[in-house]
A and B are shown apart, each in its own frame.
Chain A
Amino acid sequence: MWLRVGSLVMLAFCALVTAHGQAQENNDLERIPKALQSSPPEATPEQSNAPSPPAPRAHGKYYAEDALTLSSARNGLAVPLPTPAPSDWENRTSLDAADQWTVRRGLTATLSDRFNATEENGVDVPSQQLIRNDFREGYVTWEPLARTYLEAGRVNLRDGIALGFNPTDFFKTRTLLDQASLDPSVIREDRLGTLMLRGQSIWSGGSVSVAFAPKLYAPAPITLGVPYGLGPKFDHTNGANRILGSVNFETAGLSPQVLLYHEGSETLIGMNLSRSIGQSIIAYAEWAGGNQPSLIAQSVAYGVRTGTLPADTPLLPPADAADAFRSDLALGASWSSASKVTFNIEYHYHQAGLSRQEERDWFTIGTAQRNLLPVIGELWYIRAFANDQQQPWVQQQLFLRLDWADAMIPHLELAAFAFVNLYDGSSLSQLSANYYLSDAWSLGAYASANVGGARSERGSYPQVAGLIIQVLRYF
């Protein structure tokens, strides 16, 4: 009797729980915005209140940017600069456009350009020194066969899987233009392409490409700061005959890419590998190697060739002038979390760069001969050359980067990165915040610092800290 009663009670309880469960399921509907809930029951699905989407816009990217840069100079440099200290403020206004058009079936045209007007202290406005046009890309693509492409014109050809240093990005040299952010992933957004002929064929599971960039001009000298003017600066990108071949294929989930590059008397081979590990980690490696001179020998040879340094310039600090097989390596991993945080760590090895002893010698010579302009000019030229080639100055460094999308509030993206010199512990760090006010407007702020002892790579840099405020308007 009692058992029966108990059973009935429990069955009633069951029904209640089930009904409650379903009611709970239907509670999810409470979170659907009212604007989306159609409707009287008799309405057909086609009569939903949801607005029908307008057609997507064209795929070009157009925007205007204003970036104000404030920087503080370092006093008492261990090795004084041979040139006047950089300006402590600058405002750059840019118009940026990148688009692609189908000329006719199988033929497309691509154009990418930025026009900049700058104001800075010490330079009167208006001045030709303050106007610059960055003709980044302009080329046509012909597809004579399915997935076989022939391209001619100025192409920004970029390879490499790492973030902070790309040994296989052979066309990166002499392409740098100024950017609001020092972040290497942002720097690549505004760089010069190279005049070239390129062919690429893509098939199931792989691709092959060959690019030839002819020498059209004598190589341009390296200058401190960004080159101004409206010209296309082909002498920056087409100062040597260069050939690059690359093959991509898929095996063991590693997505290998093998590259062969030839310039002048140098032939380099390169490889990119990457693999997903578990749910959250991507491991990657990028390597290039070949017979090449040390960074010091390369920079002095280039300075002599372009007339910046006298013909009898000795190697300072003293270094091996001979070519030898030298490797570049970027070994890294990224980790991402469910809270939209991505963290990258990379070890960079640049065998041609300065060793620990050569770095010490750079400071020893520079401080001892600080009044000899040719000596300090050459020492700083080596650093400018490394920067221009987008190579590390020393042999070993660490790169750390953190990116947090929708950080604490929606549409706020926070990022931070640091390059750490593994010999002297000095670092270049940057914190940035970007807030997307709307689809059209975004605000950015970038604070950077060169931190380290007076006789360290970053601690000897003429700028201690910088702040950039950026406004972008997309069209």
Chain B
Amino acid sequence: MSRIMVLIVLLGLAARVGSGAKAQAADVPSTETPAAQDLVAAADRIRNPQQPFRLTDTLVEYRDGKPRDRVVLIVFAREEKDTRQYSNLVRYAEPPRDAGKMVLLHGSNMWFYDPASKASVRISPQQRLIGQASDGDVVTANLARDYTAKLVGAESLEDADRKDRRCWHLDLAAADPEAIYSRIEYWLERGTDQPVKGKYYSDSGRLLKIAYFHNYQEQLGTVRPTETIIIDAVDANLVTTMTTSDYRIQELPDAWFQRDFLPRLKAD
């Protein structure tokens, strides 16, 4: 009997261990604990302008710590009014062998266009995950719409500059079948709601990517991360930086987000 009691006590304590991060939140008065979903929505507004926009993403791939590949993408993005999901048009500007190739990411309607062969090829959600354009999803994804957030607790975390940041630790579960990742762990700075770190998981629970949001600067009226460091959790030697520049508000009509517009998309 006493053994059972000890076991129950240990299990009770173990449960608290399991919510160890919550224990860390004990210094936060419950009245100050924000709603998890509101935090994610606030972070979405920081990552993404609220109007249709374009930007230039420069992805530099580091292998074994050394820069190796550079890909420059021109991204046109807008939030769909009905679904609140981001639609993207991506045009490759570099490397030279890929110049002019384009990708449409519009809900489940995803196409790749190669101007050399004039071929439009439909791509699957899986291909979206493995392509370079998938790194763009880390930036232009409406997480508040696609995920149900749960507050794990308050934690102190080092950002990419090794500076301590007091963060909310959130656990996001996919709430929409079109959500790209099955689960995301997300750390947002308390007070500013700025994303500091994200961990992105597949359906099988496999950790795919770790992202550090970095280099905050004012862009289009809001202080936003202009560099995202993406650590590949599958390929241990691969780290990609995504530097965002040339933010512009731009009208993006509905008609742009379909296969037949891809050959017409210009970067100038």
Measured CB to CB, the nearest residue on chain A to B218 is: A46
B125 — nearest CB in chain A belongs to which residue?
A: A279
Which residues of chain A (247-261) have a CB below 8 Å from chain B? 248, 250, 253, 255
Cβ B108 vs Cβ A276 within 8 A: yes
A241 at the interface (CB under 8 A from B): no
Q: Which residues of B contact A147 (CB under 8 A)?
A: 253, 255, 261, 264
Question: In chain B, residues 119-137, which have Cβ atoms closer than 8 Å to a Cβ of chain A?
Answer: 119-127, 129-130
- The size of the chain A interface, using a CB distance under 8 A, is 91
Binds B, one of A32-40, A85-93, A218-226, A392-400: A32-40
- B100 at the A interface (CB under 8 A): yes
- Chain A residues within 8 Å of B126, by CB: 279-280, 336-338
| Interfacial chain A residues near B93, Cβ < 8 Å | 56-57, 59
Select the stretch in B44-52, B57-65, B141-149 that faces chain A.
B57-65
Closest chain B residue, CB of each to CB of A60: B99
Interchain nearest-CB distance for A92 vs B (Å): 17
**Does B161 lie at the interface of the complex (its beta carbon under 8 Å from any beta carbon of A)?**
yes
**B residues in contact with A250, CB < 8 Å:** 109, 258
The number of residue pairs between A and B whose CB atoms lie closer than 8 Å in the complex comes to 238
Determine whether B78 belongs to the interface, using a CB cutoff of 8 Å to chain A.
no
Specify which of A3, A48, A56, A250 lies most central, judged by the most chain B CB atoms within 10 Å of its CB.
A56
Residues of B within 8 A of A39 (CB): 161
* Inter-chain contact B157/A61, CB cutoff 8 Å: no
A50 touches B241 (CB 8 A): yes
Which chain A residues border B6 with CB–CB below 8 Å?
Answer: 6
Assess whether A50 is in contact with B215, with CB atoms less than 8 Å apart. yes
Per the 8 Å Cβ criterion, residues 21-62 of A in contact with B are 21-22, 25-26, 28-29, 31-39, 41, 43, 45-46, 48, 50, 52-53, 56-57, 59-62
Closest Cβ of chain A to B210, distance in Å, is 5
Query: Cβ of A161 < 8 Å from any Cβ of B?
Result: yes
- Does B67 have its Cβ within 8 Å of any Cβ on chain A? yes
State whether the Cβ of B70 lies closer than 8 Å to any Cβ in chain A. Answer: yes
Binds A, one of B13-21, B33-41, B81-89: B13-21
Chain B nearest CB from A253 CB (Å) reads: 6
Question: Roughly how many angstroms separate A393 CA and B123 CA in the complex, as a whole number?
Answer: 30
Q: Identify which of A14, A62, A146, A279 contacts B16 (C-beta below 8 A).
A: A14
CA distance A108 to B21 in the complex (A): 59
User: Distance in Å from the Cβ of B218 to the closest Cβ of chain A?
Assistant: 10
Task: Say which one of A201-209, A292-300, A311-319, A454-462 lies at the interface with B.
Answer: A201-209
Q: Is A439 among interface residues, defined by CB-CB distance under 8 A?
A: yes
| CA distance in complex: A336, B123 (Å) | 9
Which residues from chain B contact A34 at a C-beta distance below 8 Å? 65
Which residues of chain B from 232 to 261 have a CB within 8 Å of any chain A CB? 234, 236, 238-239, 241, 243, 245, 253-255, 258-261
Q: Is B30 an interface residue (CB 8 A)?
A: no
What residues on B are CB-neighbors of A17 within 8 Å?
17, 20
Q: A440–B96 Cα gap in the complex (Å)?
A: 7
**In contact, A59 and B100 (Cβ under 8 angstroms):** yes
Q: How far is the CA of A38 from the CA of B119 in the complex (A)?
A: 43
Assuming the contacts A61-B96, A61-B99, A439-B70, asked whether A53 and B210 have C-beta atoms less than 8 A apart, the reply is no
Cα distance, A474 to B16, chains bound together (Å): 59
CA distance A350 to B24 in the complex (A): 69
B109 to chain A, nearest CB (A): 7
- The answer to whether B157 and A32 touch across the interface, beta carbons within 8 angstroms, is no
The answer to whether A279 and B267 touch (CB under 8 A), given A50-B215, A205-B254, is no
Report whether A338 and B267 are in contact in the complex, using a CB–CB cutoff of 8 Å. no
> For the side of the interface on B, what is the size category?
35 or more
**A327 contacts the other chain (CB 8 A):** no
- Whether A255 contacts B157 by the Cβ 8 Å rule is no
Determine the distance from Cα of A170 to Cα of B127 in the docked complex, in whole angstroms.
29
- The interface residues of chain A lying within 8 Å CB-to-CB of B234 are 338
Is B10 part of the contact surface with A, judged by Cβ < 8 Å?
yes
| A10→B93 CA distance, assembly (Å) | 57
Cβ-defined contact, A204 with B255, below 8 A:
yes
Instruction: Please report the C-alpha to C-alpha distance between residue A3 and residue B127 in the assembled complex, in whole angstroms.
Output: 55
1/0 per residue B151-169: CB within 8 Å of A? 0000111101111000000
Interface string of A147-191 (1 = CB under 8 A from B): 101000000111001000000000000000000000001101100
With a cutoff of 8 Å between Cβ atoms, the chain B residues found around residue A57 in the complex are 72, 93-94, 96, 99
Best-surrounded residue of A39, A156, A410 (most CB of chain B within 10 A)? A410
| B171 contacts A by Cβ under 8 Å | no
Report how far A14 CA is from B202 CA in the complex, Å.
29
Taking a contact as CB atoms closer than 8 A, the residue among B21, B72, B110, B118 that contacts A18 in the complex is B21
Instruction: Report the minimal beta-carbon distance from A309 to chain B, rounded to whole angstroms.
Output: 33
Partner of B69, one of A63, A209, A281, A439: A439
**A161 and B120 in contact, given A202-B255, A248-B259 (Cβ under 8 angstroms):** yes
> From B20, which residue of chain A is reached at the shortest CB distance?
A18
CB 8 Å contact bits of A239-281 with B (1 = contact, 0 = none): 0000000001010010100000000000000000010101111
Chain A to chain B contacts (Cβ below 8 Å), 23 pairs:
A7-B13, A14-B20, A15-B23, A21-B21, A28-B210, A32-B239, A33-B66, A33-B239, A35-B65, A50-B227, A53-B245, A59-B100, A100-B266, A147-B255, A161-B121, A188-B119, A200-B260, A205-B258, A207-B260, A207-B261, A250-B109, A284-B122, A472-B97
Further 6 A-B residue pairs, CB within 8 A, beyond A29-B162, A60-B99, A334-B124: A36-B239, A38-B160, A57-B96, A61-B96, A200-B260, A436-B97
